[in-house]
Amino acid sequence: MAQPDYDFEYSWEELKPVRPLFVTVLVAQGLGLVAGLMFYDGRSWVESAWLGGALATFLGYLLGLWVQAVMLPGSLGRNRVMVRHLGIGATLFGIFALVFPWLD
């Protein structure tokens, strides 16, 4: 089935071909959230948690690409659209996490 390039909404079942990548990003976000709470001294705990999770999203995506390639070889190429959408989202979160502290 062809994937439209503009569809950014996926169900858990549709993410099955890239599930190792997606789960790696989610785990990284959770770890980043905890690290943000522990180490970042923001104005509020919500800001600290959000910034930690947002920054970890991009790092989790990079790690997730490797995990995906090892666990399901060839699946990155077959699911280019979903991989690209996850990458765009992770990149935007990472950029915002780096720029956000200076927006004050």
Q: Please write the tens of the pLDDT for every residue from 67-79.
A: 999 999 999 999 9
In a domain, 50, yes or no: yes
In a domain, 59, yes or no: yes
pTM over 0.95: no
In the predicted model, what is the mean pLDDT of the chain?
A: 86
In a domain, 7, yes or no: no
Residue 8 has what pLDDT?
57
In a domain, 84, yes or no: yes
Residue range(s) defining the domain that contains residue 78: 25-103
In a domain, 65, yes or no: yes
Can you tell me the distance from the alpha carbon of 18 to that of 96, in angstroms, rounded to the nearest whole number? Answer: 24
In a domain, 19, yes or no: no
User: Roughly how many angstroms between the first and final C-alpha of the chain, as a whole number?
Assistant: 46
In a domain, 56, yes or no: yes
Helices (DSSP H) in 40-99: which residue ranges? 45-71, 75-78, 80-99
Contact 59, 30 (CB under 8 A): no
In a domain, 18, yes or no: no
pLDDT band at 91 (very low <50, low <70, confident <90, very high): very high
Total tally of structural domains belonging to the chain? 1
